[in-house]
Amino acid sequence: MAIALCLGAALRVAAGQDPARPQATFRAGVDLVDVEVSVLDRYRLPVRGLTAADFTVLEEGQPRAIAAFTPVDLPSREHPTAKWMDEIARDVQVNEFAREGRLIIILMDQFIDPSAGPEARRIAESAIDQMRPGDLAAVAWTVYGVPQNFTADRRRLIDAIRQPTLNMPGGDTPGSSPMCFCNACGVELMANVAEAIQDVRQRRKVMLFVGHRLPQGAGGCSGVVSAAQRRTLRAAEAGNLTIHVIDPEGLSALALGSAAQSGTAPPERTGANLRRVANLKAYTEQTGGRFVTQNMASEVIPAVFRESGSYYVLGFQPSYTKTDGRYRRIAVKVNRPNVTVQARGGYYAAGRAAAASPKIPKDLPGPLAQAVAGLWPTTDIRLSIGTAPVAVPGVRGGAVAVLMNVQQDLSPDGPLGNLDAAFFTQPHSTKVSVLTGAFDANGKTYGFDQLTADVEPRAMGDRTFSYDIASRLELKPGHYEIRAAVHDSTLGQTASAYTYVTVPDFARETISLSGVFLQTDDGRRMSGAPLGDLTPGQPTPRRTFGRDEHVVAFVESYQGQGHEPRPGYLTTEIFDDTDQRVYQQEVRIVPSGPEQRTASFGIELPLARLAPGAYLLSLQVRQGNANARRDIRFDVR
């Protein structure tokens, strides 16, 4: 059962929301209970153009006035002019997500017929292809696979789907997997994920279960499975999670159904199939989802996602003020005939016990630890984060430089707009505390770094200030999620941001590259942890530059200890937003001795020659048949 908890743990260890505080702050700044509502016509197409007057909200059967109303039409799927713009995510992430969008959970079941494996992957990849700007997706597996937490990085999501774990041995009979008590891993995982995201507001939530069956809890397993199913459906009701079941074994399922209708199927098989279908439909019918069992089920995915492409966000002032964690039922009605309404069925009052999460060391500062302990980052301050792994002598794996940029928005309509005017007319310093941590996909921690620093924010505009700060972690080879939190003592605000990093096995790989540092001479100083042994210049997490700036990309190449040093080549290319190569340079790597396995390079970006727009910097090192590559997106203004 521990495996069934993996993604739920990974989600909770990431987040910044307190499950005991379900009343999210609505965009007008008033504490409201907000309800995301999809209204579908008889063809399951979104009904647009409704107003607040078309809706009625009931709390425990009593009407409540709608205090806030926002129609949401998600932008169309973008098809950029350059393929790299769709495939390569930005290496610097910002903790500002769009308020509106969807959370998409793709739950892959290993226990399907091997012949249906390719279709299962097509279904999942088709779901990724339906993502629109603002959408975030996660991939989970019922037993063996490595989950991918929420991200907009399509490449990471596709890699998670294509990992070689589908159809591993075990079958789908109760108890067939020693890691999955009562074969309940899939239902337990659905419950964990549904509970982890139920308090995320203003987003539609969609779960795709790609599989043929879920356990029905017969005999001694009835209590285990039934409890997990109840948890799933209650959390789905509270969070407006729509569960769709997509069966990739369409051919066999249809064949059995036809045989049952003709009377040629054995009665026991007919009964088992009816129970299987009824069990799966329990999840879809109670959450408003679809049950899809047909050949080429992947072709239905665009219609599935079309349903959630338009919705409404309603906010009402709750009448219940006690902090006893009680569940309050709500209902939403629409004055339109022949429509289906998908909306959350209730909310929890304040005071509910927080869901269990992986343990974070008790000696870490409370506000900072809390800021890296949940699904969403804390967004009091705008925080950008980027990472760069570098080989370090004596360290298995390497050091990861964590580069952060903090922006203080002190505009009059901002949360700190009442500061004294003198604060903006003279340089000021502030003390910041920083916490960075590394986690694997299952939420296990691999180390933290804490520091405090005095920084002098630099004016970036009217009442807007910015400063850069660095941290570092020493990590073994592997894939990690890096989470960082910054507390500004002067402003009394905290922010956190999350990103990913892969640390190569620098000492063993034939050829490898460090992360890429972009270095400037704009006078900004990087506070915090010293990075002098990782990069010679002044690194920046900025990725937008003026044509008159001087920017150098610094990178190191490494030849593994178990391989003879040989000549190689480093190729630098820059592509524009039409996929045209606008710059190319090739440098030969010549080892000067058997121990000279590291080569450092500084490549000046030809910004003066580039028109304003989006670009891809691609660095590739080759040695014989071995190669390594790093890609960095940047913009020229």
Which tens digits make up the pLDDT trace of 213-232?
A: 888 866 778 888 899 899 99
In the numeric block, the tokens 């010293």 are attached to 530
Contact 364, 496 (CB under 8 A): no
Determine the pLDDT at residue 176. 43
Determine the pLDDT at residue 282. 93
The mean pLDDT value for 402-421 works out to 69
Instruction: Among 132-146, 246-260, 606-620, name the most confident range.
Output: 606-620
Instruction: Among 328-332, 346-350, 376-380, 486-490, name the most confident range.
Output: 328-332
Residue 183 has pLDDT above 80, yes or no: no
Determine the pLDDT at residue 231. 92
Q: 571-602: b or e for each residue (b if 16 or more CB lie within 10 Å)?
A: ebbbbbbeeeeebeeeeebebeeeeebebebe
Round to whole Å and give the CA distance between 362 and 517.
34
More confident residue, 274 or 502: 502
Q: Which residues contact 88 (CB under 8 A, 6 or more apart)?
A: 155, 616, 631, 633
What confidence tier does 422 reach under pLDDT thresholds 50, 70, 90? low
Determine the pLDDT at residue 561. 84
Round to whole Å and give the CA distance between 406 and 489.
13
Per cent of the chain over pLDDT 70 is 83
Residue 30 has pLDDT above 50, yes or no: no
Residue 323 has pLDDT above 50, yes or no: yes
Residue 260 has pLDDT above 70, yes or no: no
Determine the pLDDT at residue 264. 55
**Mean pLDDT across the chain, nearest whole number?**
83
| Closest alpha carbon to 124 in 113, 114, 135, 109 | 109
Domains of the chain and any CATH numbers: 3-61+101-307 (3.40.50.410), 366-636 (2.60.40.10)
Round to whole Å and give the CA distance between 103 and 311.
14
Burial of residue 439 (CB within 10 Å: 0-12, 13-18, 19+) is buried
Q: What are phi and psi of 224, to 5 degrees?
A: -65, -50
Give the range among 66-70, 529-533, 600-604 with minimum mean pLDDT. Answer: 529-533
Contact 416, 410 (CB under 8 A): yes
Q: Which residues contact 459 (CB under 8 A, 6 or more apart)?
A: 424, 465
Round to whole Å and give the CA distance between 147 and 145.
6
Which tens digits make up the pLDDT trace of 559-597?
A: 988 778 888 999 999 999 999 999 999 999 887 655 678
Residue 44 has pLDDT above 90, yes or no: yes
Residue 171 has pLDDT above 50, yes or no: no
Round to whole Å and give the CA distance between 402 and 455.
17
Give the range among 96-110, 233-247, 358-372, 541-555 with minimum mean pLDDT. Answer: 358-372
The mean pLDDT value for 323-328 works out to 89
Instruction: Please name every residue paired with 215 in a beta bridge, in sequence order, or none if there are none.
Output: none
Determine the pLDDT at residue 315. 94
Q: What are phi and psi of 292, to 5 degrees?
A: -110, 115
More confident residue, 130 or 426: 130
Residue 81 has pLDDT above 80, yes or no: yes
Determine the pLDDT at residue 170. 35
Residue 123 has pLDDT above 50, yes or no: yes
Give the range among 71-75, 205-209, 391-395 with minimum mean pLDDT. Answer: 391-395
Instruction: Indicate the helix (H) or strand (E) that contains 276.
Output: helix 267-287
Per cent of the chain over pLDDT 90 is 49
| Closest alpha carbon to 479 in 150, 156, 123, 176 | 156
Residue 121 has pLDDT above 60, yes or no: yes
Give the range among 7-21, 124-138, 204-218, 352-366 with minimum mean pLDDT. Answer: 7-21
Determine the pLDDT at residue 13. 34
Residue 251 has pLDDT above 60, yes or no: no
Instruction: Among 26-30, 394-398, 488-492, name the most confident range.
Output: 394-398
Give the range among 55-64, 140-149, 424-433, 522-531 with minimum mean pLDDT. Answer: 424-433
What confidence tier does 517 reach under pLDDT thresholds 50, 70, 90? very high
The mean pLDDT value for 252-271 works out to 56
Residue 8 has pLDDT above 90, yes or no: no
More confident residue, 91 or 13: 91
Determine the pLDDT at residue 350. 79
Tell me how crowded residue 413 is: count the other CB atoms within 10 A of its CB.
Answer: 6
Give the range among 9-13, 403-407, 473-477, 629-633 with minimum mean pLDDT. Answer: 9-13
More confident residue, 153 or 208: 208
